[in-house]
Amino acid sequence: MKKYLYILFIAAVSTLAACKKGGLDRFPQTSISPDLFFNTEEDLALYVNGLLSQPDRSTYLNDQSSDNVATTASVEVKNIMAGNANAQNITAGWTWTRLRNINYFLQSYQKANVTQAVKNHYAGLARYYRADFYLDKIKRFSDVPWYSGTLNPGDQDLYKARDPRKLIADSIMADLDFAYKNVRETVPTGTPGKWAVATLYARAALYEGTYRKYHDELGLKESANTFLQTAARVAGEIMASTKFNIYNTGHPDQDYAALFSSQDLTSNSEVILDNIFDLSKGKGQNVNSTVFGDYEQAPAKDLILTYLMNDGSRFTDIANYAQMGFVDEFKNRDPRLSQTMVYPGWVRVPDATPYIQRLNKNFTGYHQLKGYVNSTDNNILNGVDFPVYRYAEVLLTYAEALAELGSLTQSQLDQSLNLLRRRVGLPDLNLAVANSNPDPALQLQYPNVSSNVGVILEIRRERRVEFAFENMRYDDLMRWKVGKLLAKSPEGMYFKGLGKYDLTGDGVDDIILIDRAATIPAEDQKESNSLGVKLVYYRAGTIGTDATVYLKNGNNGGNIVTENIVRNFEEPKFYYRPIPQQQIVLNPNLKQIFGW
């Protein structure tokens, strides 16, 4: 049975009016006087619980900025690379209302008639939320104003300049360190406790440490190791707590997928923080229609190529791997591939026969499975929990931080990354072998890795595979300074040319590609396969024509292509976003950086 926290929302606490400075200079609409509130632990809990904000299952649709997918959506980074962006039309991200909510609590909580330990617990949660808020800001803008208290109309700090990234990052670390030391381990189910705080602490430290290491434009490389050491230390302490384990029941073809389709993750040993959904309790979420079918994102071939073979060898070492069709490229692969993407032979409920991939125009032909719930029961569809933080992330943070520091040992690799490989039956990664034989394909993607090359590349492979469609990839590309990977337009399935193809893996043809100039016959005139089932017809041609599926070389085949946009990733400019021009007008002390 799930346990639930029923959070009471008070409009005066959780809702603040918008204003010309994004919410920083306004009091709650119904003023909450500290003299009347913030007196008991119940008051503190009520306010802090009102700050609860967690990612949900829509996260599975948030990979559109990365190289993991193709999309027809109006994605910011894609528009920027197409040359259609400036400070006038990039206006997202410069909002501060949530920060004022947090700082209002931190300005008021000390007067409560409770012990200091109780005060510190709730202050720690508020500072955890503030750190998370500013981590998003630093990812987007780098230098931003730091506000540690609330502001009133007329306060000069409303018109302050950007504070340097160094101050912001140090402040984030200070908030997370306080929270880690003071937030309780035992908290209401579905809310962050000590170990959730620690996970964000390690994540933030890894992000900033690697960002400083690879981004020379910041001039902060000499301090990168301090953050990497913090990431390794905190991740190691989570591991040493023995509170969590990789979910592994000995079923390598099922255990990974269970993390994303479970009706109850509250007792799952891998889940550090769970966002609980249960329609009978008034909280449901169903993302099936957008994850699958008439989707806005489709897996890119480049992601499929990243998965290893099930014996641990590299798929991209196979002769002619780039000309393999859909059925062959799914054979004998890392089991996570078929638990993340729709595979040949997969059956969609309530169908009785295997699903045949749809080759929608502008998409890749591959279909996303992670986040999809294979059911028609509305309660089941709306009742799948979302793992906000997984122990898998802690293990890979630990391994990556130590590898970047140059101190990773085989024993530490066995305690971290190799636990993920064992879950899916892959052989362990050997540190010496990896470093002596780096993957040439990954070296082309990550040319700026200069030491411990082989193992760092394999850790990056593992992160991409383990967290596919969990909204991690874009941040990884940014901190590793490999944004130029986004300049390559996503491609899809390979077809050798016109003709018939089996997409379900049973050896029987399912679709037929005809010339774009030909006419798809009427239903009663369509050819049937050996099972008596009508073939699905597509008119193949090059992109920009009236074909129904675009192939790189038209009738001569090639990968499916998804767009003809010319992408250009300008470094270092496109690793950052401009402050909206309206804010510059309101506050002339704010200045654009990195060429914006």
The structure's pTM equals: 0.94
The model's pLDDT over 399-449, given as tens digits with 9 standing for 90+, comes to 999 999 999 999 999 999 999 999 999 999 999 999 999 999 999 999 999
Closest by CA position to 379, among listed 269, 497, 285 = 285
Closest by CA position to 185, among listed 133, 243, 130 = 243
Range 8-16 average pLDDT: 33
CA atoms within 13 A on the CB side of 179: 29
* pLDDT band at 13; cut points 50, 70, 90: very low
Q: What percentage of residues in the chain have a pLDDT greater than 70?
A: 94
Range 19-28 average pLDDT: 46
The confidence score (pLDDT) of residue 296 equals 77
The confidence score (pLDDT) of residue 19 equals 34
Closest by CA position to 421, among listed 312, 261, 271 = 312
Residue extents of the structural domains in the chain = 1-55+95-183, 63-92+293-368+471-596
Judge whether residue 491 has pLDDT over 90.
yes
Tell me how crowded residue 93 is: count the other CB atoms within 10 A of its CB. Answer: 16
The model's pLDDT over 95-139, given as tens digits with 9 standing for 90+, comes to 999 999 999 999 999 999 999 999 999 999 999 999 999 999 999
Q: Which residues of 115-132 are buried (b: 16+ CB within 10 A; e: fewer)?
A: eeebbbbbbbbbbbbbbb
* pLDDT band at 23; cut points 50, 70, 90: low
Expressed in percent and rounded to 5, the helix, strand and coil fractions of the chain are: 40, 10, 50
* pLDDT band at 523; cut points 50, 70, 90: very high
* pLDDT band at 590; cut points 50, 70, 90: very high
The confidence score (pLDDT) of residue 34 equals 72
3-state secondary structure of 383: coil
The model's pLDDT over 207-264, given as tens digits with 9 standing for 90+, comes to 999 999 999 999 999 999 999 999 999 999 999 999 999 999 999 999 999 999 999 9
If you search the block for the tokens 């072998």, which residue do you land on?
433
The model's pLDDT over 527-540, given as tens digits with 9 standing for 90+, comes to 999 999 999 999 99
| Whether CATH 1.10.10 fits 1-55+95-183 | no
